[in-house]
């Protein structure tokens, strides 16, 4: 019983193996077309089909390519500076505007009334100042009058004192009577009292003059304040006329005429597109190799548009912590508005130049764990070789160490290769090609590419199934 079950299982296994062999033959050997590059036969007697390239020596320019966008050189929102209702808006999207051009107007009834009120206040202040000037003149006149009166009293007092001294001598000699002497002395005392009164009046007049002068200065300040208020009222009234601060193009009307707007509420958007900013978010690993002034080749999606040659004008000094990118910008002239803000562009940044460098196709380099490896073809065998890379562009990569010019490397089909594996050079979806010249150890049936300045030269293989022969390896 056990033997029967074992026999049945072996029969099923044999059937599965036979089906697998038939499927391989049907998909690999039974097709009439070219060999499928994805069919990897790893038997020890069958070579791996690969595409071979030559390590070339010549000028090399490193570059990185990113998708970017067009931004306006400058973009401004136009705001009203006062509250008011829009009574007129003279521009539409697409219109070109000049610096200082009127783009909208607000209702000015209220602000005009404020100007009239301020002008009236200024007139009142000026009238008060005129009155204060007149008061000062009167006070000054009173001071002069008191000074004259005091001078007159002092003169009379001086004369009376002289008469009193003479009368005192005469009364002693008996020339005049005592009564006459007392009369002269009383007159002198009366003039001294007048002198004190005149001095007090003079001080009062001077105080009145100082007060009038202070009031005049205060009125002058009030006039200056009223004039400033009038100027402010006129300036604020003029804010109802909204002008463009700089030249550009109207992008959007944000409100319609008749709307009541407030200060800081945008009503128009204006951009400057005679010059534009081309910006790309560059990965932080490439930032160190991009410098201000580096050449940039810009292409657009427009059909037939010629590339634009530009230079890096700015590398933003911070990296987005989420995307790990930084903005790199190139400012260019935009005659005829060829570039439109928001448009996508492709920006190829030059990262370096070499007058002579050894380079291979990018597809020939396998990168793993920070190391780079190429598969070097020697005869009909391949060996992995670790290399050091330098500049890169969209098609080729520089090898600074580990590979010499003229050596052959596997450009495609190195998946699944191992050291000392046999290979057969083919083109993608095509026949095999001859082996490299100068390789005497090539085995029979192993065709490699004949080297030329641009890589392997394609030649048909005699046993290609497309030519009616057998499929290699089967």
Kindly list the structural domains of the chain, giving each domain's residue range(s) and its CATH number in brackets, ordered by start: 38-58+356-464 (2.40.420.20), 80-107+240-261 (2.40.50.100), 110-238 (1.10.287)
pLDDT value of position 154:
87
Cβ-in-10-Å burial (0-12, 13-18, 19+) of 29 comes to middle
Check pLDDT > 80 for residue 8. no
pLDDT value of position 92:
92
More confident site: 348 or 355 = 348
pLDDT value of position 254:
93
DSSP string, 263-311: TT---EEEEEEEEEEEEEEEEHHHHTT--TT-EEEEEESSTTPPPEEEE
Asked if residues 97 and 250 have their Cβ atoms less than 8 Å apart, the reply is yes
Check pLDDT > 60 for residue 202. yes
- Mean pLDDT along residues 171-199: 85
* Pick from 177-186, 245-254, 457-466: least confident: 457-466
Phi, psi dihedral angles at 204 (to 5 degrees): -65, -40
pLDDT value of position 16:
52
Distance CA 381, CA 446 (A): 10
Give the number of other Cβ atoms within 10 Å of residue 43's Cβ: 8
More confident site: 244 or 38 = 244
Check pLDDT > 90 for residue 243. yes
Render the burial of 391-409: b for 16+ CB within 10 Å, e for the rest: bbbeebbbbeeebeeebbb
Q: What Cα–Cα distance (Å) separates residue 100 from each residue in 65, 97, 247, 361?
A: 41, 9, 8, 57
Distance CA 366, CA 386 (A): 9
The vertex-15 CA angle with 13 and 21, nearest 5°, equals: 105
- Mean pLDDT along residues 257-263: 92
Give the number of other Cβ atoms within 10 Å of residue 242's Cβ: 24
Helix (H) or strand (E) holding 314: strand 314-315
pLDDT value of position 228:
92
The angle that helices 109-173 and 178-238 make with each other, rounded to 10 degrees, is: 170
Count the helices and strands in the chain (H runs, E runs): 4, 22
Token pair of 42 as six digits: 């790893």
Check pLDDT > 90 for residue 107. yes
Check pLDDT > 80 for residue 410. yes
DSSP string, 342-364: T-EEEEEEEEEEEEEEEEEEGGG
Q: Which residues contact 191 (CB under 8 A, 6 or more apart)?
A: 153, 156, 157, 160
402: left (phi over 0), alpha (psi -120 to 50) or beta: left
pLDDT digits (tens, 9 = 90+) for 229-242: 999 999 989 999 99
Distance CA 456, CA 463 (A): 20
Token pair of 65 as six digits: 């390519």
User: How many residues are listed for the chain in this entry?
Assistant: 474
Q: What is the mean pLDDT of the chain?
A: 81
- Mean pLDDT along residues 129-134: 89
Per-residue pLDDT band at 13 (split at 50, 70, 90): low
Q: Among 44, 5, 50, 66, which residue's Cα sits nearest to residue 315?
A: 66
pLDDT value of position 18:
54
Token pair of 161 as six digits: 């004192």
User: Could you tell me the strand order of the sheet in which 84-89 lies?
Assistant: 241-243, 102-106, 84-89, 260-261
DSSP state of 258: T
Q: Among 72, 71, 74, 70, which residue's Cα sits nearest to residue 245?
A: 74
Distance CA 87, CA 104 (A): 8
pLDDT value of position 315:
94
Strand partners of residue 190:
none
pLDDT digits (tens, 9 = 90+) for 290-309: 999 999 999 998 777 889 99
- Mean pLDDT along residues 269-275: 92
pLDDT value of position 191:
86
Residue 59: strand, helix, or coil: strand
pLDDT value of position 365:
93
Strand partners of residue 275:
333
| Helices within 72-108 (DSSP H only) | none
Residue 119: strand, helix, or coil: helix
Distance CA 274, CA 333 (A): 6
Per-residue pLDDT band at 368 (split at 50, 70, 90): confident
pLDDT value of position 427:
57
Check pLDDT > 80 for residue 217. yes
The vertex-384 CA angle with 60 and 418, nearest 5°, equals: 140
């Amino acid at each position: 019983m056990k033997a029967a079950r074992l026999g049945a299982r072996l029969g099923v296994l044999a059937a599965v193996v036979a089906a697998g062999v038939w499927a391989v033959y049907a998909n690999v050997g039974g097709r009439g077309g070219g060999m499928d590059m994805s069919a990897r036969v790893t038997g020890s007697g069958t070579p791996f089909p690969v595409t071979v390239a030559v390590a070339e020596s010549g000028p090399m320019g490193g570059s990185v390519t990113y998708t970017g966008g067009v931004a306006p050189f400058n973009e401004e929102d136009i705001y009203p500076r006062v509250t008011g209702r829009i009574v007129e808006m003279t521009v539409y999207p697409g219109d070109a505007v000049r610096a200082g051009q009127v783009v909208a107007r607000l209702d000015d009834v209220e602000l005009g009334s404020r100007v009239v009120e301020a002008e009236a206040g200024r007139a009142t202040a000026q009238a008060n100042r005129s009155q204060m000037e007149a008061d000062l003149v009167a006070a000054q006149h009173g001071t002069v009058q008191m000074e004259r009166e005091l001078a007159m009293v002092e003169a009379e007092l001086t004369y009376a004192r002289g008469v009193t001294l003479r009368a005192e001598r005469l009364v002693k000699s008996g020339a005049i009577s005592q009564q006459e002497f007392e009369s002269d002395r009383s007159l002198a005392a009366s003039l001294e009292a007048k002198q004190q009164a005149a001095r007090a009046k003079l001080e009062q007049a001077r105080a009145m003059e100082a007060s009038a002068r202070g009031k005049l200065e205060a009125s002058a300040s009030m006039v200056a304040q009223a004039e400033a208020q009038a100027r402010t009222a006129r300036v604020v009234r003029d804010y109802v006329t909204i002008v463009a601060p700089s030249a550009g193009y109207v992008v959007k009307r944000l409100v319609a005429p008749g709307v009541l707007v407030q200060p800081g509420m945008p009503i128009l958007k204006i951009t400057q597109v005679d010059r534009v900013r081309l910006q790309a978010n560059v990965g932080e690993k490439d930032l160190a190799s991009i410098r201000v002034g580096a050449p940039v080749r810009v292409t657009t999606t427009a059909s037939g548009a010629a590339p634009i040659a530009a230079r890096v004008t700015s590398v933003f000094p911070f990296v987005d912590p989420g995307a790990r990118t930084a903005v790199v910008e190139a400012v260019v002239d935009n005659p005829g508005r060829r570039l439109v803000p928001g448009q996508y562009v492709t920006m190829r940044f030059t990262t370096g130049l070499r007058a002579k460098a050894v380079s291979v196709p990018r597809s020939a380099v396998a990168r793993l764990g920070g190391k780079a490896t190429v598969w070097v073809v020697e005869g009909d065998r391949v060996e992995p070789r670790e290399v050091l890379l330098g500049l890169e562009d969209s098609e080729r990569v520089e090898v600074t160490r580990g590979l010499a010019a003229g050596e052959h490397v596997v450009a495609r089909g190195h998946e699944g290769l191992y050291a000392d594996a046999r290979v057969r050079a083919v083109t993608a979806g095509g026949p095999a090609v001859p082996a490299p010249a100068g390789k005497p150890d090539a085995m029979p049936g192993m065709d490699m590419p004949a080297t030329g300045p641009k890589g392997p030269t394609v030649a048909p293989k005699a046993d290609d199934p497309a030519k009616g022969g057998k499929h290699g390896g089967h």
